[in-house]
Every structure is written in C-alpha cells, then in structure tokens.
Structure 1
Amino acid sequence: VDGGTREVVLLGQNVNSYHDRTAAGGSAAYVPSNPGFSNLYRLREGPGRRFADLLAAVSDVDPELRVRFTSPHPKDYPPELLSLMAERDNVCGSLHMPAQSGSTATLARMRRGYTREAYLRLIDDARAAVPGVCITSDFISGFCGETEEEHRDTLSLIQKVGYDAAYMFAYSLRQKTHAHRRMEDDVAPEVKKRRLAEVMEAFHDALARKDDAAHARRRARPWEPASQTELVLVEGHSKKSTPERPQLHGRSDGNRRVVFDLGEICAAPPRRGDDAGAATRVVPQAGDYVAVAIQGRVGRHGMGGQGLWR
C-alpha cells in the first residue's frame, strides 16, 4: 500500500475453499453455501482460519485498498462470507459464480456437488446480502452426454440470473480428469459450436436487457445520485482515446469496464451547501478512485459516463 498499490486480487483455484489449519482460532465446522451443496473433495472440518478470516484480514490493511478474489467455487459462499462483503466497503461487490451448466443432470455428471435449484438459491442469497452485487460465471457447452433439453436448461439459467460477465467455452476433453477416465466425448463438434453460439447469444441478450433496465431506472430517478454513480479505479487511457477526445478507463466495484472523458473534476465529494464553482479541481490519473455518473453502455460489456469527483 505504501508503494501505491490500490487493488489486491486473492487468486487461487477454488480460492474461497481456503482453510489454514495451522492458524489459531476460527470455526471448526465447515459450512457450505446452503444445504444443497456438498463437498466432494478432502474433509474440510477442523479448527483453523477460513476464507472469510483471510478476506477480513486483507481488507483491514487499509480502508482505501480495494480487494477482490477469484476463482471461487459456488459451494463455499457461507453466509459469513456474504455478510463480510456487505459490511466492508473495500471488499468489491462482485462475485464469480461458475455454474458450468444449468442442468442438474449435467452438473451431476460433472461432479459439481450441487443442483440447479441450490445454485439459484445461492444467487438469491448473494443478491439479498450484497445489494447491487455483480455476478459473473463460466459455462461449458457440449459436455459429455449433454442433451438438447440439458442445453436449454443452461440457456434458461443464463436468462434467469442475468450475469454481468461470463466465460463461455465448448467442451474439450482434458487428461487426468474424471470425464477423461470414465466418460465419452460424444457431442459432435458442430453441435458444440452451435450450442456455444446460443449460450453466447443468451448471455448478451440478458446483459443488454439488464443494462437497458438499469438505464431506464436512472433516467426515471435522476435525483438519486447513488443510482447514477460508480466508483471507478482508473487504469489509464482508453484504447479509443484520441487527442481530440482524451478518455480514461477503469474498473467499477462490480468489475465492469467504465470509460469517461478526461478533464478536470472536483478533488473531493461535494457537501451540501458548498459553492460548486469554488471547489478545488484536479485531473484524474491512473491509480485514482473517481466517482463516475453512468450514462449508458459502451460496446457489449462496458459502461460510459462522466467523471464527477476524486
């Protein structure tokens, strides 16, 4: 932090399954996201610090240090973790929830340890605990034995949840996995390709509807600044920045890309009764947090707006 670090990402495979048995304290009981999730791997019982403890410790380092984590497993979002995210302003309100499929039957073959219904309960719990949370996911099209009905279950899950981002791939056999040892890669390549295209279309359509609805709410309630503003950590000049129209870009708390015009902004949030014309003005740069009034979509995934204050 003293060297200028503004954001930390806790990175690991199933990062939220963290359990340090050597650390004193913590809960001895393993608590999954909800009763519909099961742990298929090594036992998680016993004392020690768990992921919520680690996340709390990192967020305590500095209130101005933004903290994210990836890539988690849906089974390890206990209520304690969601409550911590809601309580800590510097823990980003973005959750990666890799579903992989919307079909309970496919999830069972994948050995994911949860059903479609348990996953949707987790989505509801997350949105109730962390208002405005951004949710992203992973999807695989054409997994071993996937039927058209199971594929349609995935499309309907994407439409129902309304993700903010998604990583979508056609299935390919990976060595040293359960599927490689026990299953047949029996979905034709052309079927995988078609299903993947439909998954991508479903995601983009759902995101467009979600963004359009949010923009309509902003226009209908312009007197509510919170509904208009995203806190953006500036990363630098936008790729489309020009000398005639210089622009900056960064990431919102929800990890959405945000673009705004480069220019002077207020050095601090305005207070009621302040003379706006007398406010100190600054030019934002990489590493600054900037409040940006969102005005609409940019491209398929980004948002555009106007910088307000640093």
Structure 2
Amino acid sequence: MSNKRFTTTPSSSIADSVTLAKIEEYDEYLNSEKRVDFTRWKKFTSSGATTTYLERKKPNPDSKLPETLMTGTLPGTLNENMFGLVSPTLESMRIKASYLNDFSAAAVLATIVEPTVAEPLRSVVIKWMEIDIPGASIGIVRNRDYVYLESTGILCLKNGRRVGYHLLHSVNFPQTSDLLSRVRGNMSLCGVFSQAEPGQTDCRGTGVMDPGGDMIRVMAVVGMIQATMAVNQGVKIRKVFKKLSFITPDLELSQRKVSFCVKCLLDTNMDTLEAARQQFVYSENIQLRNIEFSLLSSGSDATIAST
C-alpha cells in the first residue's frame, strides 16, 4: 500500500500515520481469518451483526480506560457505508446527528482536504463536538467536548482490495482553549471497512476515549462503546426513514414526514459516488458561486456597507 495518496500538512500527517497503522492491523485481521484474540479482548455487547469487545488489561498501567474493539458486518456496499460516514460540512454533520444522535452540538473549525469529483468520499476536517452527559442539566457533572481531526476516504491495498477508513483523533491548538462549563476530553477512534460480499460491508473498529475529569469509569466506558459504534455505523443515515432531515436556509435542522411512491424512488435512484458528488462537490460549488455573485452585485454600488 502506497502512502503517496496522503496529504502532507502537519495535522493530516498525524491522521495518516494512525490510519496506515490501523489499515495494517485490519490487513492482519483479514489474513488471520478475522480471529479475535480472546486473551486480550472480552465480549461486551452485540448490535445486529457487530460485536464490541473491551480490552482485558492495559499494556500501559498509567491508562485508566481500556481500548474497545468492534467487528462484524454492516448492510450496504462499501461506497454506501462511506457515504454514510463522511460529513465534511456543518450541514452534513447536522443531518447525520439527527439520525445517530451521536453529539449534542458541533462545528467545523477548518477544512484541510475537500471532497472532489475524483474522490467524493475523501475528506479531512478539524471539528469540535459536545456530548451531553446524564446529570449535566442538574449540575452533577459537566458535558464533555472534543476538538478532533476527522479523516475519511478509500484506499487500495497491495492485493487490490478497496478499504474505507474513518478516523476521529483529538488535536489541540492555541485557538481551541477549554470552554466554560465543559470538560475537554481526548479520543482516538478508527473504523476500517471493506466489501465482504454483495450488499454487505465488513468492518473493524478500535477506539480509546478519555473523557477527562473525574467521570465514573462505567459511564466513560459506556460512552466509548457508543462512540465506537457510531463511528462504524454511519450507514444507518442512508436508509429510508419515515422522517427526513432538512437544512433550512438559516442552517437550522428540521424533520418532517415525506411520502414516496415506488416509481419516484426508482426514478431518483443514483449511484452512490454520484450522490456524494452532488452533495459534497457540486452543491458546494453552487453555494460559492452564489456568494461570489452576491458580493459582485453588492460591489456594483458606489459604496459597500461594512460592519
């Protein structure tokens, strides 16, 4: 597997090294016939065709939290699953959150790599998110927030196998200082995916999450499990729901019931990669052109009002 495909900015270099290591782990996992080492891992819970494990003992005695492992299969093709995971814009984050409920507040802080026509599922962004903690509303605990680099894409192994990856890795910058009434946590979660058979995608995800502060260990572990499952099950948002989420012009999220007839669904059927281009590439270009047109129209006057 060549690493020339990756970018070379400092932030993405961190993500690249972590991602390459996880893809190598996944390759070894496939070569071992997907065996799980039960001397290291113990089963914690199952959801559908996926199973989540907790690490029995930490190699690092200074770490209080175990690593998590999730393995199994997800419905849908590799492209469909990756389309469900990638969210390079605030709008796509809000739509995803409306189905997965994986965070309570979020923001896109910086974009490093944008989706392109050639690679519509490739994205590297710096994000912030806040997670509601039970008891925070009455002051028992404080919500946790995270500043992290999110890297998503698809690579080809030496044997020609296409693998998708989705990484969430904490980063720190001078401009992202701790916020009031929140505890800044750290995390590193990575899911790797490949086409198992028609209509099924194999997945393997690992993660460790340090929520910071004095959070009870059981609550922290449950949060880790939920986060790992959310990272690996973004395909849920590509299913048809009774309620669909829409972004209004003022960037507010609304949900309403929408009815579809079978003929309409067949007529609007679109290749997954083309759908990703429509959402992440073409629509963004249209928005930029609208902004430029608005600025040019305003600039046609003798003066431009400033704030």
**Normalised TM-score (structure 2):** 0.24
In our comparison, the structure showing a higher alpha carbon Rg is 1
**Normalised TM-score (structure 1):** 0.24
Structure showing the higher strand proportion among its residues: 2
Q: Which has the higher contact order (CA 8 A, sep 6+)?
A: 2
